[in-house]
Amino acid sequence: MHRQSIKRPQRNIRAANLALWICTALLPVAAAAQQMKIVGYFTEDGAASGTYLVKDVASSGAASMLATLNYAFGRVSNGRCEIDDTDAALRHTYKASESVDGIADLSSNGLRGTFLQLQKLKLQHPNLKVVISLGGWGGSSGFSQAAEPAQVETFVRSCVQTFILGRFAPGIDAPGIFDGIDIDWEYPVAGGPTAGRPEDKQRFTAMVAEFRRQLDAVRPGLLLTAALPARPEDYRHFELSKLSPYLDQISIMAYDLHWSTEPLTNFHSAMFHLPGDPSQPPLDRRYGDQAVQAFLAAGIPPGKLLLGIPFYGKAWQGVGPANHGLYQAGKPGNEDSGTYRLLKALPPSADRQFDAQAASCSVLYRSNFWTYDCPQAMRVKRKYIRQQNLGGAMFWELSQDTPDLELLRSLAGQEKQKSPDPKTEAPDTKTNQP
């Protein structure tokens, strides 16, 4: 069909072409923004204590910035998946003022607790995925038994039935609350608080494959993710090259790389290695970029990798003022004081530093030293994620941010615009930059 030619003023044509050029130029930026997923952990402990509720995820605005909410944690015990705190998850009755939708829970035998609040959260944010995370640092002791060849199929089935099919307890069936499973086994072989076994390396892969098989049998599209360590001595116990086909996302836990049990203070979540770092092998290889490049070299597509970021710090005490407290002798400090919201509240006299090369921060106050990630570090790491074409970021955890979500907004690129400060603006973050 021939179209009739319509004459328009030339200036309108030029304006239209300019508008088309601008839109085309902005497409890569918009695509990058859409592709960067942010995954945040929500802890059952915070809900149980009342210090951070599911309602806070909604009312703070966090839910609109998250692609996935990881609920921590489900328990692995006696070769089965279990709800860790059934009172908090299923039975607690929330008042109207505590509820996501402002409606009080009914005092009945039906679903209540945080799981009902998650259900309400998803109704308000239908694009938000909610995933049950299994294990954690203090809850991984049951994995080695559960992953035994004779046990693994039954174990995975119990996880799928409990959390995906929603068979939470007798008389409480609520499928659809969880959109997938996150495996946080810390760690196969080497162990974390609990020793592992040499065969765990291959059994982790087989367990992940079984999770993929059973999840796909329920419904294709259910998420299967894992949080893996960033320290070389730990991730060498995973068959990285074999995991990618089964997992939708792999979060690299690029934090806790240095602990306050070490005699010298150090960044616990540095993105790059600093020339002045006095760490000796293997501690000298504990930085985020090292882990990302190792995972990429193993053949994992960058789009499946998430950079893990802490919303908390590591603490030393008895630290002197030299070098603002960095690389100085100290003893383990009060770790509970290291959440970002508490560090933000320290008085103006605190010695705050941002190291653009490490892409991390520190603060020294009354001989107490904390290493943590501040908003400037979030901006550097967001830029790194885009330069490396990674899938996005994961962080631990929501309650440790300030009430106005300073860290999450910085990570998501939604902070309030202000004039750039040449003293704190981050440099270009190319791979292997010192």
Q: Is 206 exposed, middle or buried (0-12, 13-18, 19+ CB in 10 A)?
A: middle
Nearest partner of 313 among 276, 347, 345, judged by Cα: 345
Give me the active site residues, please. 186
Bridge partners for 184 per DSSP: 135
CB 105 within 8 A of CB 59: no
Distance (Å, rounded) from C-alpha 374 to C-alpha 369?
15
Q: What is the DSSP letter of 136?
A: -
Query: Which residue has 């065969």 as its token pair?
Result: 199
Q: Yes or no: say if 371 and 389 are a contact pair by the CB < 8 Å rule.
A: no
Taking the C-alpha atoms of residue 246 and residue 250, their distance in angstroms, rounded to an integer, is 10
Neighbouring C-alpha atoms within 13 Å toward the C-beta of 263: 3
Q: What is the dihedral of CA 57, 414, 127, 392, to 10 degrees?
A: -100
Q: Which three-class secondary structure string do you get for 188-252?
A: CCCCCCCCCCCCHHHHHHHHHHHHHHHHHHHCCCCEEEEEEECCHHHHCCCCHHHHCCCCCEEEE
Determine the length of the chain: 434
